[in-house]
Amino acid sequence: MMRTRPLKVALLGCGVVGSEVARIMTTHADDLAARIGAPVELAGVAVRRPDKVREGIDPALVTTDATALVKRGDLDIVVEVIGGIEPARTLIGTAFEHGASVVSANKALLAQDGAALHAAAEQHGKDLYYEAAVAGAIPLIRPLRESLAGDKVDRVLGIVNGTTNFILDKMDTTGAGYQEALDEATALGYAEADPTADVEGFDAAAKAAILAGIAFHTRVRLDDVHREGMTEVTAADFASAKEMGCTIKLLAICERAGDGASVTARVHPAMIPLSHPLASVRGAYNAVFVESDASGQLMFYGPGAGGAPTASAVLGDLVAVGRNRINGTTGPGESAYAALPVSPMGEVVTRYHISLDVADKPGVLAQVATVFAEHGVSIDTVRQQGKDGEASLVVVTHRASDAALGGTVETLRKLDTVRGVASIMRVEGE
């Protein structure tokens, strides 16, 4: 039987995502009511520019006083889609204090202060849901948090930023340089005017922190995530990748150590074999590959950004939280019981592809091989090409620690026969 008293929802932010949330709440009102068990009423919308025309939203609901809105005391759910750290953090805390559960899409805030937000939600007996914070419309948070709650996740490997995947895909398929591909992404609206958060890996790192925390039942903050951008990836790197039967993706990688005693979280460009499912992810799409003990390998794929896809994830959370409100319960909160340490990047073990500019003369390969051996880094394959006294030497290693590889490269740079290190890239997905 449906409850007649509506669930009152406040919307913080009415940009690309917020406006879509409001639209879907209106156009799908009957379906949402049937699924939740009560009508859903948009009770207020907090914005920065009140004079902007917002189609389908009653101007009487619009306010610039977000604090007053969340303090009303009669709200059931607050949807936060304004992003950033402040005022979002304070507004969410205030919403809990005044009786509302929260649905958020704020990856940066959750990656930095997720533990404190979960603690506040628990203190006040409210829900904190955030499916939209990672990978847009792709159901990912809830499967990790609920569907795989009885399993042991060993690894999460994913493309979680559509802008960077679009750029790298263009470089791969058309031979374009980085700047040319970025310009096209900007023209098509995939990249912001300032793309730093995307191309330098900040966006993906925040998502990696959230995913690692859920997957490994451990608190992982943004500062725990090793981050490298993709601005130095070149057409030559793609050529080398193709020779190995690989392509290049900006990956978020969260792993449990082999002995299960620690975890790592990192974001960086990497070569992956064309046979790996992530290699075929094109354009601005996202995909996340999960490896677990009982379930084996799982793949989650779909649009990772955009107003409608992200709003879909927000509305999914709204339905779940709404049902909890009606039933007087709350959903799963933070699970950090494992409290595993997060290992530094130097301890991460993976394969490497190193391209060196060297003198084209006898004995160079032996010198280079000796340096690798001295640092305990085993070589898998070597390819050398030379012309007019100069040569390129491409070395692919077996699995080695980041620290060992770093020491190897530092020593290589001191050799008279090594003119420079053209590129270093990790090889993942094998």
Catalytic residues, which ones? 207
CA dist 135 and 133 (Å) reads 7
- Contacts of 417-420 with C-beta under 8 Å, sequence gap 24+, read 417/358, 417/359, 417/361, 417/363, 417/364, 417/367, 418/356, 418/357, 418/358, 418/359, 418/368, 419/356, 419/357, 419/358, 419/359, 419/390, 420/356, 420/357
* Alpha-carbon 274 to chain mean position: 22
Distances (CA, A) of 100 to 76, 120, 342: 5, 12, 33
CA dist 410 and 378 (Å) reads 16
Identity (one letter) of the amino acid at 386?
G
* Alpha-carbon 13 to chain mean position: 22
Paired tokens of 191: 């990249």
Q: At what angle do helices 162-174 and 235-243 cross, to 10 degrees?
A: 70
Query: Which residue has 């009560």 as its token pair?
Result: 38
Virtual CA dihedral for 12, 17, 23, 29, nearest 10 degrees?
-70
Closest by CA position to 207, among listed 247, 269, 158, 174: 158
Paired tokens of 126: 């409210």
Paired tokens of 108: 């940066």
